[in-house]
Copies of this chain bind each other. A is one copy, B any other.
Amino acid sequence: MTTRQATPTIEFWYEFGSSYSYLSTMCIESLAHERGVQVVWQPFLLGPIFKELGWDNSPFVLNPLKGQYMWRDLERRAARYGLPFKRPTTFPRASTLPMHVAAYAAHHGHGWLPTFSRRVMQQNFVEDLDISQPMHVLRALDDLVASPQAVLEDALSNTHKPLLRQQTMRAKALGIFGAPTFMVGHEMFWGDDRLDDAMAFANALPVGSL
């Protein structure tokens, strides 16, 4: 039987290049606060997961009908959340550089990860900026850490660079096939539109150890 820790917890698996991850990244902390749920931020790369499934690109690019629909759906969902949204001129954007920083922050339990993540998402899905440019990653770290440049270098060091790959392998081991994905113990919820369900599920579990 699945049980939970004293504080209901959900793992949030996300990727800066993923359009629906944008919605969840912007909203999850405030929703979690309302629900008394704790969020564990779990950045990972979608590309290697898609490759395993035999796709060399986003399904929204490989299937243009679905892609066209997704942009309209995203626009409607963003409006409903009251979130700004501008369709990026490049999709999907290479996200590896900021993802390395996110994996680094997740590994060390740095409290600035949610704010950093929201800023990167804002760059990609509102400001239409190339998030693989170091200048934008540094800007997203600004005032969150003593030295953005030192953090970026540390995240890309031989010690820390493998963290992102490890996160992606963990995602694969969990059977994750898309983003965002929410894990509550072994229970999977896929898609921003399942975020509420995931939180309700976490809250309904009896207290115990996962």
Contact = CB atoms under 8 A, between A and B. Distances in A.
Copies of this subunit? 2
Interface in A51-104: 53, 63, 65-66, 68-69, 72-73, 76
Interface string A159-183: 0000000000000000101100000
Nearest to A80: B197
B177 A69 contact: yes
A152 interface: no
B53 A190 contact: no
A63 B69 contact: no
Contacts of A66: 177-178
Contact of A69 (B190, B193, B197): B190
Interface residues of A, number: 19
Contact of A177 (B53, B65, B73): B65
Contacts of A151: none
5 contacts: A65-B175, A66-B177, A73-B189, A73-B190, A193-B193
Given A72-B188, A193-B193, 17 more contacts: A53-B63, A53-B65, A63-B177, A65-B175, A65-B177, A66-B177, A66-B178, A68-B175, A69-B175, A69-B177, A69-B188, A69-B190, A72-B187, A73-B189, A73-B190, A73-B194, A76-B197
Nearest first, the 3 A-B pairs at minimum CB distance are A65-B177, A193-B193, A65-B175
